[in-house]
């Protein structure tokens, strides 16, 4: 495999199409979009993969319930994800659907190699299966006999399956995780995974006899590939199919905590079995587990009726404001709550009165001096403050601390507000350097917002007459524009 040079490979989970996209899905996709835009600004070549997970019993049952053929059902829901991402201004490189023919072919190819390498054997599975989780469960996973996440009793399954020799790979995986060769973050996620490995795990079934909606096992067509194997392989099949293997392996898989173990244990195990147990250069470099959120204190659920559609937020607040509101609810690696009633307040305080008001104040001040404004260097104190904020912003983004990186930008915004209030440039004859300082800082703010609020940044640059932010400028031609974030009443 070629050296990766400047290339970065980032992924979101692929989303089940049993229901339409909600803000939980939007959260992860948005986070990877921000990282993608950030690294692209830094001149890195990023491959950003997202998509939909379309096989298995859960999807089959959802299609039956909707009275649709499974493929038609998947086609309909998958489009909803694509549309939501378009509305949220997500700039992915590729959208995979696990029902794509070329994905199915590559999955079959991968499993043939695993069989050839001696990692698969036929066996009898007798146990319980939770369709909601799409996984085999044991008594200790259940509360009062039910899956605590899906509140239903698992199915009793007894069938002949093909098994994967996961157990023999566990010591290797443990060593790789302990040595951060596969970096799992935050630390509590790493501890959780290591705890599970240390407890011991059995070999897993990689095929199902009783599930018809799936990829057929190439050597035994009466069985379908276990949906999690099919799904995890998407990260591999896409690059193979597009001839983009120079991006391999993944630099970051972003996941929620419910799917952490699949990514940290099963996925590296499959790759070790395929590439050989010494091929650690083929494994994901980092798996980051983001927080899970509730809405107004409750788990999002169709029954409660509190599932938030990202499109509704976009309609109410606009795209960039929705991006801002979603990423500022709580620190990225923590769980938290989204309070819908507080979103208006946050919009008004941070965006309308904060960023929007500052931009229009600075533009108005600059226009008093004329549309053409000469820009000098930033004063010493201002420069020091700016350098410090930018350093923290970079550290935070490199650590996926999105809300903190945004706080850094807002520190700059409040610095400017205070600076204007103190200097009162409208009362002074000689205020050119004040205006010049403010214009420089506004440019920096817009630059730092490029990954987060791309359209807002463009509008600010337009009002400042800046075509290329990365080029030096000594004169700006200011243009009045519309308010960036009109106040909500």
CA distances from 247 to 114, 243, 333, 425, 477 (A): 23, 10, 26, 51, 41
| Contact window for ligand MSP (CB under 6 A) among 168-176, 241-249, 256-264, 409-417 | 256-264
Judged by CB under 6 A, the chain residues 373 through 412 that form the site for ligand MSP are none
Of the residues 153, 258, 388, 479, which one makes contact with ligand MSP according to CB under 6 A: 258
Q: What binding mask, one character per residue, do residues 174-213 give for ligand MSP by CB under 6 A, x or -?
A: ----------------------------------------
Instruction: Round to whole Å and give the CA distance between 186 and 208.
Output: 34
- In b/e form, how buried is each residue of 144-160, taking b as 16+ CB within 10 angstroms? eeebeeeeeebeebebe
Nearer to ligand MSP, 53 or 350 (CB): 53
Nearer to ligand MSP, 211 or 255 (CB): 255
Q: Cα angle vertex 314, ends 310, 316, to 5°? A: 120
Pairing of strands 183-185, 286-290: parallel
Q: Is 416 among the catalytic positions?
A: no
Choice among 65, 146, 150, 381 that is catalytic: 150
Q: What binding mask, one character per residue, do residues 53-92 give for ligand MSP by CB under 6 A, x or -?
A: x---------------------------------------
CB 234 within 8 A of CB 225: no
Choice among 133, 172, 390, 433 that is catalytic: 133
The answer to whether 337 contacts ligand MSP (rule: CB under 6 A) is no
Choice among 55, 58, 106, 130 that is catalytic: 130
Nearer to ligand MSP, 16 or 419 (CB): 16
Q: How far is the CB of 277 from ligand MSP (least distance, A)?
A: 23
Q: Is 25 among the catalytic positions?
A: yes
Q: How far is the CB of 427 from ligand MSP (least distance, A)?
A: 50
Among 190, 204, 128, 124, CA closest to 161:
124
Judged by CB under 6 A, the chain residues 300 through 329 that form the site for ligand MSP are 300
Q: Is 147 among the catalytic positions?
A: yes
Q: What is the 3-state secondary structure (H, E, C) of 131-144?
A: CCCCEEECHHHCEC
Nearer to ligand MSP, 211 or 358 (CB): 211
The answer to whether 293 contacts ligand MSP (rule: CB under 6 A) is yes
Q: Is 302 among the catalytic positions?
A: yes
Q: Specify which residues 338 forms β-bridges with.
A: 295
Of the residues 25, 37, 97, 209, which one makes contact with ligand MSP according to CB under 6 A: 25
CA distances from 153 to 139, 146, 158 (A): 11, 4, 16
Q: How far is the CB of 54 from ligand MSP (least distance, A)?
A: 9
What the block records as the tokens of 337 is 């709550």
Judged by CB under 6 A, the chain residues 232 through 251 that form the site for ligand MSP are 232, 234
Q: Is 289 among the catalytic positions?
A: no
CB 235 within 8 A of CB 255: no
The answer to whether 331 contacts ligand MSP (rule: CB under 6 A) is no
Q: How far is the CB of 24 from ligand MSP (least distance, A)?
A: 2
Choice among 140, 302, 380, 471 that is catalytic: 302
Choice among 146, 299, 462, 480 that is catalytic: 299
Radius of gyration from C-alpha coordinates of the chain: 25
Of the residues 8, 14, 88, 351, which one makes contact with ligand MSP according to CB under 6 A: 14
Instruction: Round to whole Å and give the CA distance between 146 and 127.
Output: 14
The answer to whether 132 contacts ligand MSP (rule: CB under 6 A) is no
Helices (H), 264-401: 267-275, 310-317, 319-327, 340-346, 357-368, 380-398
CB 136 within 8 A of CB 127: yes
Strand locations in 228-333 (E):
252-256, 286-290, 293-295
For the stretch 156-159, contacts whose Cβ atoms lie closer than 8 Å and that sit 24 or more positions apart, written own/partner, are 156/127, 156/128, 157/125, 157/126, 157/127, 157/128, 157/129, 157/210, 158/124, 158/125, 158/126, 159/124, 159/125, 159/208, 159/209, 159/210
What the block records as the tokens of 189 is 């996620």
| Contact window for ligand MSP (CB under 6 A) among 175-183, 231-239, 310-318, 463-471 | 231-239
Residues near ligand MSP, by CB under 6 A: 13-16, 24-25, 27-28, 53, 231-232, 234, 255-256, 258-259, 292-293, 300
Residues annotated as catalytic are 22, 25, 130, 133, 147, 150, 299, 302
């Amino acid at each position: 495999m070629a050296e990766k040079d400047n290339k970065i490979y980032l992924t979101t989970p692929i989303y089940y199409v049993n229901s339409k996209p909600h803000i939980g899905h939007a959260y992860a996709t948005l986070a990877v979009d921000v990282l993608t835009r950030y690294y692209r600004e830094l001149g890195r070549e990023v491959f950003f993969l997202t998509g939909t997970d379309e096989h298995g019993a859960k999807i089959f049952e959802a299609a039956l319930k909707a009275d649709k053929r499974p493929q038609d059902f998947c086609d309909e829901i998958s489009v909803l994800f694509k549309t939501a991402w378009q509305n949220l201004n997500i700039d992915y490189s590729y959208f995979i659907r696990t029902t794509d023919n070329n994905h199915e072919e590559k999955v079959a190819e991968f499993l043939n190699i695993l069989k050839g390498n001696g990692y698969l054997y036929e066996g009898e599975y007798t146990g319980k299966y939770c369709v909601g989780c799409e996984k085999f469960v044991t008594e200790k996973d259940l509360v009062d006999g039910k899956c605590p996440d899906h509140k239903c009793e698992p199915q009793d399954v007894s069938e002949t399956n093909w098994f994967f020799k996961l157990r023999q790979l566990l010591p290797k995986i443990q060593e790789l995780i302990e040595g951060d060769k596969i970096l799992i973050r935050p630390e509590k996620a790493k501890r959780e995974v290591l705890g599970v490995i240390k407890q011991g795990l059995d070999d897993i079934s990689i095929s199902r006899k009783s599930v018809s909606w799936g990829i057929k096992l190439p050597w035994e067509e009466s069985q379908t590939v276990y949906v999690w194997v099919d799904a995890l392989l998407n990260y591999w099949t896409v690059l193979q199919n597009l001839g983009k293997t120079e991006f391999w392996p993944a630099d970051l898989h972003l996941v929620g905590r419910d799917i952490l173990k699949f990514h940290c244990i099963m996925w590296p195990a499959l790759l070790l079995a395929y590439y050989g147990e010494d091929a650690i250069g083929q494994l994901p470099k980092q798996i980051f587990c983001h927080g899970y959120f509730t809405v107004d204190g409750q788990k999002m659920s169709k029954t409660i009726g509190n599932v938030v559609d990202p499109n509704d937020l976009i309609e109410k607040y606009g795209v960039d404001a929705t991006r801002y509101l979603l990423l500022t609810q709580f620190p990225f690696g923590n769980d938290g709550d989204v309070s819908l009633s507080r979103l208006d307040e946050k919009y008004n305080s941070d965006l309308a009165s904060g960023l929007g008001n500052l931009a229009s104040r600075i533009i108005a001040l600059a226009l008093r001096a004329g549309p053409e404004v000469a820009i000098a260097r930033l004063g010493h104190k201002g420069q020091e403050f700016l350098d410090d904020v930018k350093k923290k912003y970079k550290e935070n983004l490199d650590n996926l601390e999105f809300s903190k990186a945004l706080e850094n930008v807002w520190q700059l915004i409040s610095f400017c507000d205070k600076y204007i209030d103190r200097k009162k440039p409208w009362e002074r004859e000689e205020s050119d350097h004040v205006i010049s300082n403010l214009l420089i800082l506004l440019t920096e703010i817009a630059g730092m917002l490029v990954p987060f609020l791309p359209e807002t940044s463009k509008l600010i640059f337009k009002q400042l007459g800046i075509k290329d932010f990365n080029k030096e400028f000594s004169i700006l031609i200011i243009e009045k524009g519309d308010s960036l974030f009109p106040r909500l009443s």
